[in-house]
Amino acid sequence: MRLEASRLVCVRGGREVFTSIGFSVGGGEALLVTGRNGAGKSSLLRMVAGLVRIAGGRLALAGGDAEKTIPEQAHYLGHQDALKPSLTVAENLGFWARYLGGDIVHTALETVGLIALADLPAAYLSAGQRRRLAIARLLTAPRPIWLLDEPTAALDREAQVILAGLMRQHLAGAGLIIAAAHGPIGLDHVNELRLGAAR
């Protein structure tokens, strides 16, 4: 599997965020997108996720499921944790598992260290716990492409180690990762795509 972008152009609110961006990332590989605030890191991930329109250029996936779009084969972990405060931890993850077509809620919560909080309303979670719950979504249904926007935000050292282990497992299974971050994400061998400053 290989995801390739050529001469991508992003326009938001009538402003050109970036132009002529290209990259290639295959199964078992990770791409780290870096750059200053406003350079378009989040916009690029959202573009791959199908949440931002491609204003120019081309994005193609070779070796994936020909019956599905790129967004349908991707997990997107954005800045917002997408949780309903009134639902419990398990209910929140259960919703996403059903929506994504998965069913391993208990195992996912155990993996991210939240099984003891399964019956607690999400409103009572700390920022780091909310992020762990969002990460658990990646485990509920297998998808080959992980799009991670500042994945270590709000995570303590223990949770960062858990996330790094999950990313390594995903890569070992021929998955691919595109992560936007200002610093290291816990992987040793990553390619880097640096976006220019906002104009």
How does 145-183 read in b/e, with b if 16+ C-beta sit within 10 Å?
A: bbbbbbbbeebeeebbebbbebbeebbeeebbbbbbbee
CATH assignment at residue 35? 3.40.50.300
Question: Mind listing the pLDDT tens digit for each residue in 126-174?
Answer: 999 999 999 999 999 889 999 999 999 999 999 999 999 999 999 999 9
Backbone φ and ψ of 7, nearest 5°: 50, 45
Q: Does some domain include residue 4?
A: no
Question: Mind listing the pLDDT tens digit for each residue in 70-121?
Answer: 999 999 999 888 899 999 999 999 998 998 888 789 999 999 999 999 999 9
Q: Does some domain include residue 21?
A: no
> Domains in the chain: how many in total?
1
Length of the chain, please?
199
The alpha carbon of residue 38 and the mean position of all alpha carbons in its chain are separated, in whole angstroms, by 18
- The answer to whether the predicted template modeling score (pTM) of the entire model surpasses 0.85 is yes
Question: Mind listing the pLDDT tens digit for each residue in 48-75?
Answer: 999 999 999 999 999 999 999 999 999 9
Q: Does some domain include residue 199?
A: no
Q: Does some domain include residue 36?
A: yes
Q: Does some domain include residue 135?
A: yes
Q: Does some domain include residue 12?
A: no
Q: Does some domain include residue 77?
A: yes
Domain encompassing residue 182 = 28-53+65-193
Q: Does some domain include residue 8?
A: no
